Amino acid sequence: MDSSTVWIAMLLTLLAGLSTGIGGLIVLFFKEINAKLLSVSLGFSAGVMIYISFVELLAESRVVLVSSLGDWGLWINIIAFFAGVLLIAIIDKLIPADENPHEAPCKIEKADKYDLYNGNKLLRTGIFTALVIAIHNFPEGMATFVSSVQELSLGIAVAVAIAIHNIPEGLSVAIPVYSATGSRRKALGWSLISGIGEPLGAILAYLVFLPILNDILFGILFAAIAGIMVFISLDELLPTAQEYGEHHLAIYGMIIGMAVMAVGLLLLN
């Protein structure tokens, strides 16, 4: 495989991960987040992910697996899809509900004074959330890398979708760290650290999967990635989008995301 392809895939994964830092920057420069815009953005990201998953990844997986395994490929395609759903569901289940990293306040307020206990508690919350997000983003990094290696246009689409949904995750890290310490640098730093799971996932995919990649493994990984992204969209993005805005705003954002991705993939191919 061309080394430039691998480097481009790594770069896309790194950029998707570092988008958590955008959430950190928002905390630094804005006192209040536009909830409706955030709702549409999250719906947009969900639309991109759902469209890619069913129209591109799952369909491509089925073609490859059936071509390689015959009728058994249909069953492997289905099993791999739900295995991806199960994997990300288990990761989500292991995250304590009180520390859910997908809940970002719409208003950002900096308190001038905290007693030592509350300040330390907020700081621990921010750091713990950063570590949880890093673990949660691990399979997303693998998804971006594998997609980019197989088909660059698809990798770009996956990276963009993941980058958009990483922004509110960065917010959920930066807010408590900034409130506890008053340090912009620490808030931004921890929001960036929370995205480290993406490139680490790409490195694992490179070390483990790249040497043994073949059509069957590609088909299995594509179906599993589709399952991961569908779960993220339905369990995290759309419910959060509806919390921040009207129900219809989230749906409009989702439909726009699907339409943009449909046109974008046609132009990139």
Cβ-defined contacts of 61-64 (< 8 Å, 24+): 61/218, 61/219, 61/220, 61/222, 61/223, 61/226, 62/219, 62/223, 64/215, 64/216, 64/218, 64/219, 64/222
* pLDDT for the residue 78: 96
Range of the domain at 111: 3-268
Give 120's pLDDT tier (boundaries 50, 70, 90). low
Q: What domain count does the chain have?
A: 1
76-113 pLDDT per residue, tens: 999 999 999 998 888 777 765 555 444 444 444 443 33
For residue 199, give Cα distances in angstroms to 132, 146, 265. Answer: 15, 12, 24
Exposure string for 57-82, b = 16+ CB within 10 A, e = fewer: bbebbbebbbebbeeebeebbbebbe
Please report the pLDDT score of residue 54 as a whole number. Answer: 92
What is 76-92 written as a DSSP string?
Answer: HHHHHHHHHHHHHHHHH
Please choose, from the candidates 11, 41, 17, the residue with its C-alpha nearest in 3D space to the C-alpha of residue 250: 41
Helices and strands in the chain, H and E counts = 13, 0
